[in-house]
Structure 1
Amino acid sequence: MSASEYSDENSVLREDLNFPYRLLRPANASGECLFVLHGSGVDETTMLPLARRIAPRSVVVAARGRVPQEDGFRWFERITPTSFEQASIHAETAAYARFATEAARRHGLDLKRATFLGYSNGANVVSSLMLLHPGLVRQAALLRAMPVLDPSPKTDLRGTRVLIIAGAADQTYGPFAHALVTLFSERRAEVDARIVASGHEFGDADAAIVRQWLAGPMAIA
């Protein structure tokens, strides 16, 4: 989809809610929407090409994490690459829940037709969102994610559809993929787990898998 097929609002970084964000609304919008959460050390623009390939007719809401890291941002504080500050996870996840709810209300989006697409640190926010704020997310695609809550609440996630894509050569998060699949399966989410031939980075294989997965039926609560 070319830039001309998006309205002028798409180039604007909005700061009218509690997270800076960009809203992409295609001229032929289908009614679905995609909430996109980037990884560590970058910003909200990083995931936009992937989002367009996955769902070219969806409205895209791409927010920016509020914790500075190097030349970019992340979503919550970390202690090591695979251990995280729990108070920060809870606070920032609650803040994002408020953001998503208000962004949907303000821009006329239906959260029942929304998919939350997260990569790495952003995927960890989405998984925390499902566990800490049940009912908000009905459908989520998690790229290179791991369990981050300690302890993880025993949330009943029936009616939630989750796609988990791990990288076969991802030495950072790859070893935790099975634990994440088990976590969501035990909480009765509808889980689809895949492995792609890559490291921690995402690419064309992820886009193809997510796009195919989105073509399936939305989970029924």
Structure 2
Amino acid sequence: MPEYTDENGFLHRDLAFPYRLFRPADASGECLFLLHGSGVDETTLVPLARQIAPEATLVAARGRIAQEDGFRWFERITPTRFEQESIRTETDAFAGFAAEVAQRHKLDLSRSTFLGYSNGANLVSSLMLLRPGLVPRAALLRPMPVLDEVPLTDLNGIRILIIAGAADVTYSPFAPALVTLLSRHGAKIDARIVPSGHEFGDPDAAIVRQWLAASDA
């Protein structure tokens, strides 16, 4: 495992979203933005991200909507219907946050991958559709479409990995619609299914790691 500099673990609260930065001493220049799922916080995806890219700098951000003992990225109406104004407000705010945090910590957004899980994956897909040009690559774990109205965004050249869970009875049925939506906008999609439910684990880490290696090649 790589050694990490002493800036790691500190919770920054002076930008639009609270976040933690993890930069290996031998950082490769690659960066992963981590967007957690509902009801947890910014630390949840860090172990998975370290499996995926141990030499990458990690930006682990926290959603601003309180839910139970944790946080989410935008308001929901039901488990599969979401408040549209909240999506747009939080998406715009995160776009500004990503640009600011990249400037502050001298991160190259062109070498960044946005890794989102569940509600965090849905924020990333909205970010690509509503604020094009920011996200060059995205790995979306257990996502679904959330926008009622989708702009005519050109995603040509954007690489997207979508991983659904075969036993995820609530959300996996929506994954094909998201694949179709993003493909129609020009993105290059790699869609996979793992034999799990809504939870993520080692199979996801292995797929994302291989996908990133192939993308770099």
1:107 aligns with 2:109: no
Letter of the 1:99 counterpart:
F
Look up the match of 1:181: 179
Q: How much does 1:154 deviate? A: 2.2
1:122 aligns with 2:114: no
Which residues of 2 match residues 1-221 of structure 1 at below 5 A? 1=1, 5-217=3-215
Question: What is the distance in 1 between the residues matched to 2:61 and 2:149?
Answer: 27
- RMSD, aligned α-carbons: 1.0
Letter of the 2:53 counterpart:
A
Question: What is the distance in 1 between the residues matched to 2:215 and 2:179?
Answer: 20
Question: What is the distance in 2 between the residues matched to 1:217 and 1:62?
Answer: 22
TM-score by length of 1: 0.97
Decide whether the 8 Å contact of 1:139 with 1:218 is kept in 2: no
Q: How much does 1:171 deviate? A: 1.1
Question: What is the distance in 2 between the residues matched to 1:131 and 1:37?
Answer: 17
Q: After TM superposition, what 4+ stretches of structure 1 lie above 6 angstroms from structure 2? A: none
Instruction: Give deviations 1:103-143, integer Å, cap 9, x for gaps.
Output: 00000000000000000000000000000000000100000
Letter of the 2:152 counterpart:
K
Instruction: Give deviations 1:1-35, integer Å, cap 9, x for gaps.
Output: 26xx1111112111121100000000110000000
Q: How much does 1:218 deviate? A: 5.1
Question: What is the distance in 1 between the residues matched to 2:96 and 2:168?
Answer: 32
For structure 1, the 5+ residue unaligned runs are none
Count of aligned pairs between the two proteins = 217
For structure 2, the 5+ residue unaligned runs are none
